[in-house]
Amino acid sequence: MEKFFGTDGVRGVANRDLTPELAMYIGQAAAFYLAKQAGLREGTRAKIIIGRDTRVSGGMLEAALAAGICSMGVDVWLAGVVPTPAVAYLTKTFEACAGVVISASHNPAPDNGIKFFSNLGYKFPDEVEDEIEALIHKGLTTGVVAQGERPVGSGVGRVVTMKQAEERYVEFLKGAAPSLQGLTVVVDCANGAAGAIAPKLFAELGACVIPVFDSADGMSINVMCGSTHPENLAQKVLACHADLGLAFDGDADRVIAVDENGQIVDGDAIMLICALSLKERHSLKKDTLVLTVMSNLGLRRALRENGIQIEETAVGDRYVLERLIASGAVLGGEQSGHIIFTDHALTGDGILSALKLMEVIQVKQKRLSELTTGFTQYPQVIQNTHVKDKYELMNHPDVLTAIAEAKERLGADGRVLVRPSGTEPMIRVMLEGPDKAELEAIAQDVIDQIDSADG
């Protein structure tokens, strides 16, 4: 049975893999499951909030998804183009039974995705997605996701346009924001959902803001910009003599920074800066930082040297959140820039993370480059290869042998991580160690063996 949900919802090329028909069944399945779970009083209606990024396919999928939801008697509140964490916040604030974001995050414009948030504002656990996925398959095969008559007349769900979605989210951010007076910051909006919010917010907080890549044309999202391409931002920071640069991804749930010297400050470095600041203020509960397996060896060493414990999870901010809740820690995230501050939110929020980073800069009155002193990143090589069946290949004897040999060659000074992508048909190979040239050679050997096994 085809699996729709990956590590970050349902993803695919819009109108080819992620079709309006599939979006409608996703809407029906989710609405049926969630309304039943909500246990609503008679006469009350469930509602689901939908937000999206700037992709040209967003409106098409929004309409199909909303149609599916309304056909099951659940109302739809449209938040429009807003960051992913805004939907999580609005879902909890307005007591919706769920929130939905139509976005493929950092992926190129032809891709799109659908991901859900619970009524508490965090991503669905795997078991809930499995339940919804079974209903989707039922709909695709039989044309009906659930037995019984559909609602008619006044029972049909209504579509409501939210009038102050963006404003409510901005007010929430301001409640967690420092004064940015005196800072000059270049803001790369990835031509995505951050464009209408981040530059204006930072300016209102006192910063001198230089926005770049803030178009909303629907096709330039993430194109050579944003958190996956911060090199252009780095050049702009140097040219403008700015204090720092901030690069968001398409749906603004992650951020990568650039210091005043044009050096990239990734999610690992941002987490270290914020963790040390919280620890100094006795606010880093459990003296613990939650990381994924992708975080750099250099971060792990710096944390241990500063008396901060590490909790490690699989890749995906949903798994970071699960561990944060289970451990009682308050800060965790990913090298890619998904960072969660549980004292403020239960999902990765790029704009909130940027505010927390700038708060440390302001409180300590230090340059961003000074805050990363003592953090030495190990060389890290990441190579990806597209494959036919990523899960089958992960258990192929030749691939397992290649991984074992790579680990033996690197020994105790390095690290090998080979995993299937959660959102694309590819396998990702990551190696860390002291010698980058050696890492590249070993990674290529592993990639070659994967490609050979893939035929």
Catalytic residue list: 105
- 3-state DSSP assignment of residue 185: strand
Tell me if 329 sits within 8 A of 320, measured CB to CB.
Answer: no
Look up residue 191 and give its amino acid.
N
CA 292 to chain centre: 13
| Residue 91 per-residue DSSP state | H
Vertex 399: Cα angle to 393 and 403 (nearest 5): 130
Q: Which two tokens stand for residue 220?
A: 């330039």
Q: According to DSSP H, which parts of 293-349 are helical?
A: 297-305, 317-327
For residue 435, what is the enclosing H or E element? none
Closest C-alpha among 198, 250, 203, 202 to residue 229 = 250
CB 78 within 8 A of CB 62: yes
Adjacency order of strands within the sheet including 244-248: 208-212, 184-188, 244-248, 255-258, 264-265
Helix-helix angle 126-142:20-38, to 10 degrees = 130
What's the CA gap between 305 and 8, in Å, rounded?
33
> CA 342, CA 328: separation in Å to the nearest integer?
9
* Tokens coding 442: 């070993």
At 145, is the secondary structure helix, strand, or coil? coil
Helix (H) or strand (E) holding 269: helix 267-280
φ, ψ of residue 366 to 5 degrees: the values are: -125, 155
Question: Residues for the chain: how many in total?
Answer: 455
Whether residue 192 contacts residue 109, with contact meaning beta carbons closer than 8 Å, is answered with no
User: Using CA atoms, how far apart are residues 87 and 108, in angstroms rounded to an integer?
Assistant: 21
Report how far apart, in Å, the C-alpha atoms of 224 and of each of 244, 247, 259 are. Answer: 19, 11, 19
